[in-house]
Structure 1
């Protein structure tokens, strides 16, 4: 058996690992399915891509704004209660949003409904990463790599599933399936042995932004913001590139190839023992992402773009793996869920802004190339942020409690 397979089998054999991986995958699918399903539903009802895009963006922004607040509550008590409450509320609000769209409600009602659904989205991503931060340190990097790879696959499977369901049934069916998957994933994590063993770390009341200002966190969040802004610009540039090349049907394939390259890179990286420090690995990972983005603006063939996306994508999941390892090592033991939800907030918010700015650039004289250059510049900015001077991270103030043992 290869060393790579042994590394991943070690993680898979952890008592709650299958639940965290499978339920985490299902619970994250709404993050890639609901915005697209809402966009298709609203566009179908209103005929306006502008309104549809605004509704989809409102969902993402609401998710991003509420997640850190819920993350702090989860750390103070337990993520279990938050997940159970969301599992009850989320399908109700998702159903309400579908009704609001289908009956032809005014724009303000569509935005309000999307915001409510976004705010109630189960806190799966931050919770799963917080649980991974409590496993045996010897297998933690490999666990983060599997988690990053699963997250990448979410953005392949989710939109593909929505496209198929919208074709054979309707976008509203896709929305319903997303809700079922999200609730199933949240309940799987909430009832797992790892969650039942969760013991909140004792901590004094902290200022609202204490976790964000923990030494080392501003650098990670700022570089992560730049990185996700670039990824958001690329996600909107690829479909526009395919359309301009006369092959609009290739947009989904190109994005899937990009994500598969990332997943492959993540699996390879997770089985490696790297001697360099985490900050140095992170910097090199961001540089790899930037180098992968740089040639895209000069490409005219969708087939060549696919090859370059696959190759460049191999740096993304490894970079996100190291990013998670850094957050897990920096965050206070009493604020791990909150720290990871801030990371999720950065991902949702920055990618939405990147998509919006990239889309606006595409409509100007700069065209698709402008959006791709923006993605490259954002990656370069992420690298520069890691070079800025700042306070060094300190050791956590309380010891971590492992809830999933090897």
Structure 2
């Protein structure tokens, strides 16, 4: 009597497949090490807004973001050339030290120019855990595009959870402990969790080939340039909305509530990211990018009618529905547009685009909010995301 042939074992899918790639410790270290990226901007705004007003707060936050935008690609390139471990270890130590110096400068009442210089230095030394984690997932997934999509979706969801926890935690700490406590916690997390992420066994060494051969591999393709511009506009949309929420909370006499209001976006975005990991769907990434930006543009318009914190919370929560699916499509397309030999640099370039957009919008929306009220900052957000939707629709329509 013949034995029944058992069906071949099905490979793990979704979250199980991603965790099988790098182990359960990797996402934990990556999450805690990137949490400072969500703590620092809100923590900086809250600390300086409390002492010197929203105008100075926006200027210093913009300096931090500008430094991160400039330093990100450099750290990404060095990580590709030298390996993740030595570059991240150096960046984590330097960043923790500079954040401590920034806190001391603000509390010590140093001139605005000194605080701006330290904020730029803090941005330049950010370890770029998020983009380098995506580069690791791309390397671990190899040629399996379905698994790669799940890994990048999972990683983007970690970003969104951090995006939720960071501002909320910064707001809670500012009210219950001290306005500087969010930046102190960020420095500690970078030093401890950043080091653990750096030395994790999945950390790749130098990319194959000689430095000269790697340098000849073309990084900037038309597709990557377009994705970087879209990232700049997305960062500007976030920054304008974030500054508007902070200005609104300040005008109502509840500055500590800004982080909690802003976290509403990350709650819905995190849920959308989890759904995308579990049920990725069959839509092409370019189509997904277009419609998620378009939906986000529509959902941003209610910000212009907001007059209270509850209304702001509902408005940003609505925007969050489209954020994670948008970022998942964006970084999925970066993996296709960037060369494997320079994937860390490609990811950090687009990540820096997000930061650059936040810096530029913070520099504009902070003074605008100070002069004309919080709705002026919300208008910056609406203009940026509308421009992004138009650009994506026009560019990808031409590509077929």
Q: Could you state the TM-score of these two structures normalised by the residue count of structure 2?
A: 0.85
C-alpha contact (below 8 Å) 1:233/1:356 kept by paired residues: no
1:401 is aligned to none
Alignment partner of 2:39: what SS?
helix
Superimposed CA distance per residue, residues 295-348 of structure 1 (whole angstroms, 9 cap, x where no aligned partner): 332344644443343233111001101111110111101111111111121111
2:172 corresponds to 1:164:
yes
Report which stretch shifted further, 147-156 or 330-339. Answer: 147-156
Report which stretch shifted further, 105-114 or 225-234. Answer: 105-114
- d(CA) in 2 for partners of 1:172 and 1:368? 24
1:75 is aligned to 80
- d(CA) in 2 for partners of 1:352 and 1:62? 9
Between Structure 1 and Structure 2, the one with more helix by share is 2
Unaligned runs of 5+ in 1: 394-406
Alignment partner of 2:202: what SS?
helix
1:325 is aligned to 332
Question: Superposition RMSD on alpha carbons, in Å?
Answer: 2.9
1:192 is aligned to 200
Which structure 2 residues correspond to residues 3-402 of structure 1 after superposition, within 5 A?
A: 7-14=14-21, 16-42=22-48, 47-136=52-141, 137=144, 138-195=146-203, 197-198=204-205, 200-202=207-209, 204-206=213-215, 210-211=218-219, 213-242=220-249, 250-300=257-307, 302-364=309-371, 367-389=373-395
- d(CA) in 2 for partners of 1:51 and 1:376? 23
Alignment partner of 1:139: what SS?
helix
- d(CA) in 1 for partners of 2:327 and 2:73? 19
- d(CA) in 2 for partners of 1:6 and 1:205? 34
* Shift in CA distance, 198/272, structure 1 to aligned 2, threshold 3 Å: farther
- d(CA) in 1 for partners of 2:109 and 2:365? 29
Superimposed CA distance per residue, residues 84-143 of structure 1 (whole angstroms, 9 cap, x where no aligned partner): 112332333333333333433333322222222222222212210111112323322122
Aligned length: 383
Q: Could you state the TM-score of these two structures normalised by the residue count of structure 1?
A: 0.84
- d(CA) in 1 for partners of 2:311 and 2:90? 47
C-alpha contact (below 8 Å) 1:19/1:188 kept by paired residues: no
1:400 is aligned to none
C-alpha contact (below 8 Å) 2:171/2:258 kept by paired residues: no
Report which stretch shifted further, 379-388 or 240-249. Answer: 240-249
Unaligned runs of 5+ in 2: 1-11
- d(CA) in 2 for partners of 1:140 and 1:338? 18
1:261 positional shift: 0.8
